[in-house]
């Protein structure tokens, strides 16, 4: 298998906390070749810390997606931009792993799913690392059983 040539779109919190450190451990299979962030210094710092020598830095994801070398992207931007970036990446022929939630509206989520359906040769995944957490499975069962009534808001306290 050839190494994946990964582009990181969004070099802030979740990319620094999870994506880039994890990908760095997979250096036999993955090379982070390009980094994009609207704050240039964040992309530059990520490229120096995690990128291959000569990794490119962008402030516009459209420019990153033009790179033919890139095989896949991580969409690690704020939720409101997941849809537009994921669709653009799929249309550019890139595999996509998008952070959760998929989108902020059902309509945008459907647009993303439809875009992937037009490119079945590409992989499109979402980050749902908590789906097997026992506490979450129990809460889901309680919700489905109507134990909480109609839920209108959820606040997470960590």
pLDDT in tens, 88-106: 999 999 999 999 988 999 9
pLDDT tens readout for residues 32-88: 999 999 999 999 999 999 999 999 999 999 999 999 999 999 999 999 999 999 999
d(CA 99, CA 116): 16
Residue 149 region by backbone torsions, left for phi larger than 0, else alpha for psi between -120 and 50, else beta? left
Q: What's the half-sphere exposure (Cβ side, CA atoms, 13 Å) at 131?
A: 6
Q: Chain-wide mean pLDDT for the chain?
A: 92
Q: Tell me the whole-structure pTM to 2 decimals.
A: 0.82
Where does residue 36 rank: exposed (0-12), middle (13-18), buried (19+ CB within 10 A)?
A: buried
Percentage of the chain lying above the pLDDT 90 cut: 72
d(CA 132, CA 73): 25
């Amino acid at each position: 298998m050839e190494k994946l040539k990964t582009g990181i779109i969004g070099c802030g919190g979740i990319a620094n906390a999870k994506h880039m450190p994890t990908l760095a451990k997979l250096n036999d299979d993955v090379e982070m070749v390009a980094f994009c962030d609207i704050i240039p210094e964040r992309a530059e710092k990520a490229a120096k810390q995690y990128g291959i020598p000569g990794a490119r830095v962008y402030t516009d994801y459209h420019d990153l997606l033009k790179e033919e070398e890139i095989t896949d992207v991580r969409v690690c931007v704020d939720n409101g931009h997941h849809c537009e970036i994921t669709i653009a990446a799929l249309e550019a022929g890139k595999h996509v792993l998008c952070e959760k939630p998929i989108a902020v509206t059902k309509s945008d989520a459907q647009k993303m799913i439809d875009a992937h359906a037009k490119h079945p040769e590409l992989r499109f995944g979402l980050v749902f690392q908590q789906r097997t957490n026992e506490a979450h499975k129990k809460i889901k069962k309680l919700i489905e059983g109507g134990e909480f009534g109609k839920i209108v808001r959820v606040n997470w306290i960590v």
